[in-house]
Amino acid sequence: MTISSEPGSHTAETVAQEVQQFLEQRTKQTWDPDTDLFSSGAVSSMFAMELVVHLESTFDVVITGPDLALDNFRTVNAMTAMVLRLRGVQP
């Protein structure tokens, strides 16, 4: 999936699809958007760093400080909301 760097080009649907695609490629399983990836045991805190790098490079955002909280990476929906917020997109 190609993601445009234009601020208004991201929607919750396109961000969630991209995040789910990345997770499926890396974990070899599909994920419900509300599944807690860390409590499921399939995702580690080390993998969270891969998520940070992926989200930053894919969506042209910088994730720092309070945004690095694990809760922002627990679910596809949480990552989607964070990306949209960092991109300045209204939900």
For 76, other C-beta atoms within 10 Å of its C-beta total 22
Q: What is the distance between the alpha carbons of residues 15 and 60, in angstroms, rounded to a whole number?
A: 12
Does any domain span residue 2? no
- Determine the pLDDT at residue 10: 80
Does any domain span residue 9? no
| Structural domain total, the chain | 1
CATH number of the domain bearing residue 45: 1.10.1200.10
Does any domain span residue 52? yes
Does any domain span residue 35? yes
Does any domain span residue 17? no
- Determine the pLDDT at residue 6: 52
- For residue 20 the two structure tokens come to 């789910």
Question: At CA 20, angle to CA 14 and CA 73, rounded to 5?
Answer: 100
Does any domain span residue 79? yes
Q: What is the distance between the alpha carbons of residues 84 and 44, in angstroms, rounded to a whole number?
A: 24
- Determine the pLDDT at residue 7: 46
Q: State whether residue 83 is helix, strand or coil.
A: helix
- Residue by residue, pLDDT tens for the chain (91 residues) are 434 445 457 899 999 999 999 999 999 999 999 999 999 887 888 898 999 999 999 999 999 999 999 999 999 999 999 999 999 986 5
Q: Which residue range(s) make up the domain with 85?
A: 29-89
